[in-house]
């Protein structure tokens, strides 16, 4: 006669085979987060005025409690990114100050990419693209996660930004004034290629009619 209740052995077996991430996969995903963190920290060190200050493991990545996706394969990795206080009105900035900083960024920003690039071919291996949006299509969501399957060893951390039509409609003097207020002075460059690979829809964040959405590209 079958058991009428779930035993500890049944739960342990289910956790081992359906929920928990194998130790080797967990170590690999943490290694990729650390690789991203090291690349960002190197970029910050080379550009002391960069608006992003640091990146830290967050959520299940920090607590080592990540679980498998519903399909049974892979997982994601949560990270927290810190913004330079002076960019948002100081360390005691209210949410309104953070939102104002976001609004200004979004007004003249079209897209900004962060990720790892093959410097020889100028091609992305992993790209997180943030697109400034406004209007009714905005959704509130959790911050999002990093994919753990991208092969980025040997590639350098890179960022590429494009400006909105509103920015290009400004006079040359006003464009120069906007750029002068940025914490990082960017130089012109060819946009890295995103060829064969997979494009994944990401999460977004929005408040008061302005926000950003994110998508992910992983080279095949």
In a domain, 51, yes or no: yes
In a domain, 69, yes or no: yes
Burial class (CB in 10 A: 0-12, 13-18, 19+), 89: middle
- How much is the average pLDDT of 68-93? 68
**DSSP-assigned letters across all residues of the chain:** ---SS--HHHHHHHIIIIIBPPHHHHHHHHHHHHHHHHHHHHHHHH-TT-SEEEEEE-HHHHHT--B--TTSS---EEEEEEEPGGGTT-TT--HHHHHHHHHHHHHHEEEEEEEEEETTTTEEEEEEEEEEEESTT-------EE-S----TTPEEEEEEEE-HHHHTS-HHHHHHHHHTSSS-----PPPB--SEEEEEEEEEEETTEEEEEEEEEE-
Residue 125 has what pLDDT? 92
In a domain, 3, yes or no: no
Query: Checking phi first, is residue 27 left (phi over 0); if not, alpha (psi -120 to 50) or beta?
Result: alpha
pLDDT band at 136 (very low <50, low <70, confident <90, very high): very low
Ranges 22-36, 77-91, 97-111, 129-143: which has the least confidence: 129-143
pLDDT band at 123 (very low <50, low <70, confident <90, very high): very high
Give the tens place of pLDDT for each residue, 198-213. Answer: 887 766 666 655 667 7
State the residue range of the domain holding 157.
8-219
Residue 41 has what pLDDT? 78
pTM for the model stands at: 0.52
Task: Inform me whether the pLDDT recorded for 50 exceeds 90.
Answer: no
Task: Inform me whether the pLDDT recorded for 115 exceeds 50.
Answer: yes
Give the tens place of pLDDT for each residue, 165-190. Answer: 888 888 898 888 778 777 677 888 99
In a domain, 146, yes or no: yes
In a domain, 176, yes or no: yes
In a domain, 162, yes or no: yes
Tally of domains within the chain? 1
In a domain, 2, yes or no: no
In a domain, 48, yes or no: yes
């Amino acid at each position: 006669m079958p058991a009428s209740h779930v035993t500890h052995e049944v739960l342990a077996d289910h956790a081992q085979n359906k929920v928990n991430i194998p130790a080797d996969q967990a170590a690999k995903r943490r290694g990729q987060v650390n690789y991203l963190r090291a690349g960002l920290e190197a970029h910050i060190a080379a550009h002391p005025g960069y608006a992003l200050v640091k990146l830290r493991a967050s959520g299940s990545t920090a607590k080592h409690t990540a679980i498998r996706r519903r399909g049974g394969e892979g997982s994601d990795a949560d990270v927290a990114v810190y913004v330079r206080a002076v960019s948002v009105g100081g360390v005691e900035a209210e949410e309104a100050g953070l939102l104002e900083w976001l609004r200004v960024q979004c007004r003249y920003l079209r897209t900004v990419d962060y990720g790892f690039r093959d410097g020889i071919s100028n091609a992305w291996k992993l790209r997180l693209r943030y697109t400034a949006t406004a209007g009714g299509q905005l959704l509130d969501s959790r911050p999002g996660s990093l994919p753990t399957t991208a092969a980025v060893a040997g590639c350098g951390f890179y960022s590429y930004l494009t400006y909105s039509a509103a920015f290009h409609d400004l006079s040359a003097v006003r464009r120069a004034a906007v750029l002068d207020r940025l914490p990082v002075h960017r130089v012109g460059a060819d946009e890295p290629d995103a060829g064969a690979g997979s494009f994944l829809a990401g999460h977004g964040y929005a408040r008061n009619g302005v926000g950003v959405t994110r998508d992910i590209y992983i080279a095949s």
